Amino acid sequence: MSDSQRSIRLELAGFWRAGGGRSSGYHLDSLCERDRDGLPFLPGRQLKGVIRHALARAEAWGWFADNVLPEGPCATLDELLFGSVSQQHERASTWPGMLIIGDATLSQAERGYLAQPQQAALREALFEQLFSTAIEDSGGAKAGSLRGAEVALPMVLFAPVSLELTALESERREQQRQVLTDARVWQAVEASLSLVDAIGAGRTRGLGEAQLSLLARAEEVI
């Protein structure tokens, strides 16, 4: 295993979903993201956004004051790991980060078993349907406000994560190279995970309660 590879373990304690904007017509307003085998997963881009927000907060609070960045264009660990903030830079001036996060999925053993054709019923049993409605001041349900959403059951997911040289400019690439095998970078990522308490769509409304941890062995993802 390379020193630049790890995995993130996501222990989901309640219903959760990664919404992809799909619906089932009149019955459900939103459906869970599913992979090609019909199993629930959390896209890496969604997980990366949540972790970036957590690390940025930790850095702003001075958690990594002793983690001195090597000299280079990136002034913060946030920018070095996750790249430029697109809203703050013109498109031609953006740069990629070096922290690469893949999709969070069930373990390889679980996926292999559940993906078998004869396990279609078990695959569907991983999902549930939730319905909600707006309430009038009188205490009754507001007409036309019924909403339905597909959610996934509590489970444990794993996401591969690695540090990679992604910069094209020589100065940025050299700065990335200097931290590629620096254990303090992984310590910062691990500390930031403690700030994440929910993931996925609806996490501000009670869905997706989760505990994230960093695993030392990348092969534990599979």
SS3 string, 133-171, reads CCECCCCCECCCCCEEEEEECCCEEEEEEEECCCCCCHH
Task: Kindly report which listed range (27-31, 77-81, 118-122, 165-169) carries the lowest average pLDDT score.
Answer: 27-31
In this prediction, residue 202 carries a pLDDT of 83
Q: Residue 1: its pLDDT value, please?
A: 42
Per-residue confidence (pLDDT) for residue 68, from 0 to 100: 74
The per-residue pLDDT for 30 is 76
Looking at per-residue pLDDT, the higher value among 8 and 87 belongs to 8
**pLDDT for residue 9 is more than 90:** yes
- Average pLDDT, integer, range 97-119: 96
State how far the Cα of 222 lies from the Cα of 220, in Å rounded to an integer.
5
Phi, psi (degrees; rounded to nearest 5) at 42? -115, 115
Q: Cα separation of 213 and 45, whole Å?
A: 18
The average pLDDT across 153-164 equals: 96
- The mean pLDDT of 139-150, rounded to a whole number, is 64
Which whole number is the average pLDDT over 119-143? Answer: 76
Give pTM, 2 decimals: 0.85
